[in-house]
Structure 1
Amino acid sequence: MKGIIFALLGGACITLQGVANNRISQDIGTWQAATITQLTGFILAALVLLVVRDGSWQGFKQVKPLYWFGGALASVIIYSEVMAIQYVGVTLTVSALLIAQLCVTFLIDLRGWFGVVKQKMTMPQFIGIVMMIGGVIILKL
């Protein structure tokens, strides 16, 4: 149950962040919005780290350098989301983002990329993705 609650919280925050970034972007620019978002996110994460102090830095050297740049993807995410909201609105943007996320996670699970245990994908899962894509097409119409 905790996993579902965290997923719902994360999804809500992604949407709220996209709308806030769009407003910031309209006032000062898209890359400025991305910079502010990354900076405030870093500050909050650093403060939480100082308070919670769970985990350690000892395993840092064991992390593959490729994974160190995962946070840099946030700049692309923010820019893309802001531009999409400006062109197609919040609802269609979030719908398309969810489909893109599902399709990529589907491939990651199917192929076992990034050290993830391979998962078999079943016909209901394929049908679910197709239905979501159909739903976005209906939203667009």
Structure 2
Amino acid sequence: MKGIIFAFMGGACITLQGVANSRISQDIGIWQAATITQFTGFILALAILLFVRDGKSQGFKQVKPLYLIGGAFGAVIIFSEVTAIHQIGVTFTISALLIAQLCLTILIDMNGWFGVVKQKMKLPQFAGIGMMIAGVLILKF
């Protein structure tokens, strides 16, 4: 149950962040909005880290260097999401974003990329993605 609650919180925050970034970017620019967003996210994460202290700092040596650039994806995410919101609106942007996430996660699960255990995808999973795509198309048109 906890996982579902956190997933809903994350989804809500993605939407709120996209809308806030879109508004900020209208006033100061997309890359400036991305910079502010990444910086404030860093400050919050650092504050939580200092308060909670639930990890191991010596574990950095064990992380593959490729994975340490994960935060850099945030800049691309912000730019892409803000640009899309300006062009196609919040609802369609978030819908397309979720479909893209699900399609990529299916590929990751099917191929076992990034060290995840391979999962077999069956017709119901592909039907679910197809229904989501159909729903977004109906929503858009």
Deviates most, 40-49 or 131-140: 131-140
Q: Determine the structure 2 residue equivalent to 1:24.
A: 24
**Equivalence map 1:24-63=2 (5 Å):** 24-63=24-63
**Equivalence map 1:67-106=2 (5 Å):** 67-106=67-106
Cα separation, 1, equivalents of 2:6 and 2:121: 24
What is the TM-score normalised by the length of structure 1?
0.99
Identity across aligned pairs (percent)?
76
Residues 84-104 of structure 1, C-alpha deviations (whole Å, 9 max, x = no match): 000000000000000000000
Cα separation, 1, equivalents of 2:43 and 2:75: 16
Question: After TM superposition, where is structure 1 displaced by more than 3 Å over at least 4 residues in a row?
Answer: none
What is the TM-score normalised by the length of structure 2?
0.99
RMSD: 0.4
Cα separation, 2, equivalents of 1:140 and 1:7: 25
Q: Determine the structure 1 residue equivalent to 2:125.
A: 125
SS at match of 1:117: coil
Q: Which blocks of at least 5 consecutive residues in structure 1 are unaligned?
A: none
